[in-house]
A and B are shown apart, each in its own frame.
Chain A
Amino acid sequence: MTPKTKKNLTPGGKRLLRLKVNGEIREVATETNKTLLEVLREDLGLTGTKHGCELGECGTCAVLIDGTPVLSCLALGVESEGSEITTVEGLIQGGRPHRLQRAFADLGATQCGYCIPGILLTAKALLDKNPHPSRDEIRQALSGNLCRCTGYTKILQAVELAARS
């Protein structure tokens, strides 16, 4: 896919990007047509962000941009300058796992674990906005994140547990 975006950008041409990821400023020279997903994984080595379709259909690659879940396979790296980007690697603060990570681990909400980074970040955005969501609100918030292993049950329970802790 070669996204046709802003006219001053040559597809495939390189530019120096200055991104703020997990509180750190990272500079990287990279192709302007690269998705944020590709920049994170390939240029910044942040492979915690996964991908399941690269078409915006599965939710696996969700990251937070200024606190809002965004599918990083549909965003361009160059569009993300000037924003606060949070990936799963940024959830552990000062060596301490986020309460969502703790709850997901303790309740067995992660099986293969592949969809979990995207789900954790989407759930974090929910809890940051709505600290005590109902089960239906959690279902709604996570409805764009597919998981094939868990049947979602333990994921919903884990978000509830994190909200209580």
Chain B
Amino acid sequence: MKTKSFSVIGKALPKIDAMAKCAGETIFADDLYLPRMLYAKLLRSPHPHARVLGIRAERALALDGVYAVITGKDLPEKFGIMPSTQDEEALAVDKVRYAGDPVAAVAAATESLAERALGAIDVEYKVLQPILSIEEALASTAESQRIHAWNRRANIQKVVSLEFGDVGDAFAQSDHVFEGTFFYQGNTHLPMEQYCAVGFYGPDDKLTVWSSTQTPHYLHRALAKVLGISASRIRVIATPVGGGFGGKSDPFSHEICVAKLSMIARRPVKITLTREESFYVHRGRHPVKMWVKTGVKEDGTLAAMQFKTFLDGGGYSSYGLATVYYTGALQTVTYQLPAYKFDGVRVFTNKPPCGPKRGHGTPQPRFAMEIQLDEIAEKLGIDPIDLRLKQLVEPDTVTVNGLRVSTTGLRECCERVAERAEWKKKFRHLPFGHGVGFAASAYISGAGLPIYWNDMPHSGVQIKLDRSGGVTVFCGSIDIGQGSDSILAYAVAEEFGINPADIRVVTADTDLTPVDLGSYSSRVTVMTGNAALQACGKLKPMLLEVAGEALEIPAHDLEFADGKIRSASLPERGIAFADCVQKAEGKFGTLGATGSYWPPKNPRDFKGSGVGPTPAYSYSTSIVELHCDGATGQIKIDKVWIAHDCGRAFNPLLVEGQTEGSVYMALGEALMEEQIFRKNGLHKIPSILEYKSPTTLETPEIETILVETNDPEGPFGAKEAGQGPLLPVVPAVANAVYDAIGVRIHDVPITPDKILRALEGRLKPVSIPEFQFPPPIKWQPGEGVEVAQKS
């Protein structure tokens, strides 16, 4: 009905919660102060690797004002985000696996008293040799050197080996073969809001946990499992998240501990982690070493690509099972690739666990791949953008590894970013020290599969129509700043022809809202948007029926617009939305409906095929212009152009905000951010001052170009915007450094010392660990399989 023009979609409207946030009225988790509330603190291991021989907490418990002390014995049940790798404990039972691993928790009348009580807990450790690098982890094959006991091979969490088409043959038939090694350093999310949770086990024997979490549904499941309480008696309320970027997507020790402490103390218990602790909680970008080989024809056509990735996972599995697959999954969706092989391994080390950060496992390989393509273009004397343009993945095709691409705006992204940045004029034409670089990328609009196997919807929305004409939308999604609450309001307002301000959105409360799997994998707009549209679609016929009767107009001539249901041909003939709701309620009874969304079925069936599929891929390109001082190695970014295929921009303001934030975060990773450790396993820089991130002074002008492709799977044609635009920026920086000063840096962050060493010829290539991957699972791609458009 509404394909012609939109009244809400595509408009630069303020977010529905913008003024509350500007007024300081938004209640974040740490703003909750409940009557009789206690404060919790966690005691953390000072050792990166040690056995816990014993814990004595009597002295702490004897302190005035201390209400509960718990240790690993109280919470022995393991948990973890991925069902098959649940290796975390809320408090270490017999072993600590990184410096900062929690071993005990205290609830006391005040925070300072809780902190003092930690000092009265005696822990006896047997210190073990820490394993701190990928190489050490792969080499430590003895049983005695194991970090975990559950996994099959010493300190290897997961090995993947996949081959699509025959790469050996394809390399043999290539005119040129390029090989390179790369390293992408780990970094952390650093959301401005520290982790915080409040638990309250009430006199009704029901538990409520408020938390700054991106995944209330998965927290709900973890609490039930670890605490041994029926999930039906647990309520999880995700409070507005003060920045997540993937870092608040796991169930965490502190969330489980406040619940357990409250079960003992029978009072609400709050915990707010310090900034230092947030560097230990981490779950940030994996450090990844990569070996990449690409075969090309003389004209630059890609013949084959092979990737080996080595992921430093830290002390626990977290999302690592998915991450290792993601380091190999999306290389194929940008350029036509007839043969592709991927080997990946994730190891355990005695460092804070790595997990998903914006782009989840894909920025690292994208960095390597886009630099290698720049090198190939250079060698063959082809403009790097032209090299890519001649072999872009076409819409409605299936990639060599079986991924279905619906729409792609990558060609337009390439062309428009080049035009805006005056690429042809600048590339290889700027003076020494001044350069431009280009890169392209793709990302998923939500994972095609849920984290735990089930056949239920990924997103549910419930809509209630009120006699006042107000509409309430209930959804389990959590707004982490990306604007997911507003997206629901815009979608429903568009469908009913009413003002988004007349819509109330109730989200992220497991007692009140249907399940949405969470704010991760850039899934929320596509999935909750579609669920909302389905719910609207159930209510609209009832409203049209009573409006048609009242107006004596046939339904096909009716439209929802301007707060009315009116004749499309004679717009002055209409009935107010609120009046129509009342008539419909009189005729049909209380008005409400639910909507659900399942992503399209995965067409692939090999092991590991669950990672990569999505309803729709977003595409991005970036050009970075920079100055690099050959004497000091200092880089100054002049400007970043970013083109992003977002399907349709639900609200261009929000999409621009996501792309600008992605560019900023990418520049931090490209130039300065690193999660690094001392030789003894302690975090080197666990503070905001020392962990450098860009300020207003380092963040350059960013020009965003939105490319709209109107994807048939997306609500109103929308795809994702929150993560994809980070990906091309990091390699574009490296390629621009080469254009500026003629040195290749294969190693982020690109710091001044690396540039100077490269200029002096002292920068060593990234070393790749010795490791024998198993024989690959071979999957023969279909020959140019056509995929029908979704009707």
Interface residues of chain A, those whose CB is within 8 Å of chain B, are 41-42, 45-55, 57-58, 60, 87-89, 91-92, 97, 100-101, 104-108, 110-117, 120, 138-140, 142-156
Contacts and interface: CB of A to CB of B under 8 A. Distances in A.
B192 A112 contact: yes
Contacts of A152: 660, 664, 696, 699
23 contacts: A42-B33, A47-B24, A50-B193, A57-B687, A58-B192, A58-B688, A100-B22, A101-B19, A105-B14, A105-B21, A108-B18, A113-B21, A113-B22, A113-B481, A116-B22, A117-B24, A120-B22, A140-B697, A146-B192, A148-B192, A148-B693, A152-B696, A153-B664
Contact of A150 (B17, B31, B660): B660
A111 B22 contact: no
Interface centre among A42, A151, A156 (most CB of B within 10 A): A151
Interface stretch (B119-127, B257-265, B649-657): B649-657
Interface in B662-696: 662-665, 687-689, 693, 695-696
A108 to B, nearest CB: 4
A88 B480 contact: no
Interface in B46-87: none
A65 to B, nearest CB: 17
Nearest to B693: A146
Given A88-B23, A106-B14, A150 B657 contact: yes
Contacts of A139: 696-697
Interface in B238-255: 240-245
Q: Across the A-B interface, give the 5 residue pairs with the lowest CB-CB distance, nearest first.
A: A48-B24, A112-B481, A113-B21, A151-B664, A114-B242
Chain B: interface secondary structure? loop
Contacts of A60: 192
Contacts of A100: 22
B242 A112 contact: yes
A57 B689 contact: yes
A39 to B, nearest CB: 14
Contacts of B240: 112-113
B656 A108 contact: yes
B245 to A, nearest CB: 7
Interface size class of B (residues with CB under 8 A): 35 or more
B22 A148 contact: no
Contacts of B653: 107-108, 154
B482 A111 contact: yes
Given A105-B18, A113-B481, A88 B24 contact: yes
Contacts of B664: 150-153
Contacts of A143: 695-697
Interface of B: 12, 14-15, 17-28, 30-31, 33, 189-194, 240-245, 274-275, 480-483, 653-654, 656-657, 660-665, 687-689, 693, 695-697, 699, 701-702
A147 B23 contact: no
Contacts of B480: 112
A106 B22 CA distance: 11
Nearest to A144: B695
Given A54-B274, A54-B275, A142 B481 contact: no
Contacts of A107: 653
A58 B17 CA distance: 24
Contact of A111 (B25, B190, B483, B702): B483
Contacts of B31: 41, 47
A53 B702 contact: no
Contacts of B243: 112, 114, 148-149
Given A150-B664, A153-B702, A113 B693 contact: no
A145 B693 CA distance: 11
Given A89-B23, A101-B22, A148-B243, A53 B193 contact: no
B662 to A, nearest CB: 8
A58 B276 CA distance: 13
B661 A52 contact: no
Contacts of B19: 97, 101, 105
B193 A52 contact: yes
Nearest to B17: A113
A112 B245 CA distance: 11
Contacts of B695: 143-144, 146
Contact of A52 (B14, B244, B275): B275
A108 B481 contact: no
B481 A50 contact: no
Given A112-B240, A143-B695, A151-B702, A55 B23 contact: no
Nearest to B668: A148
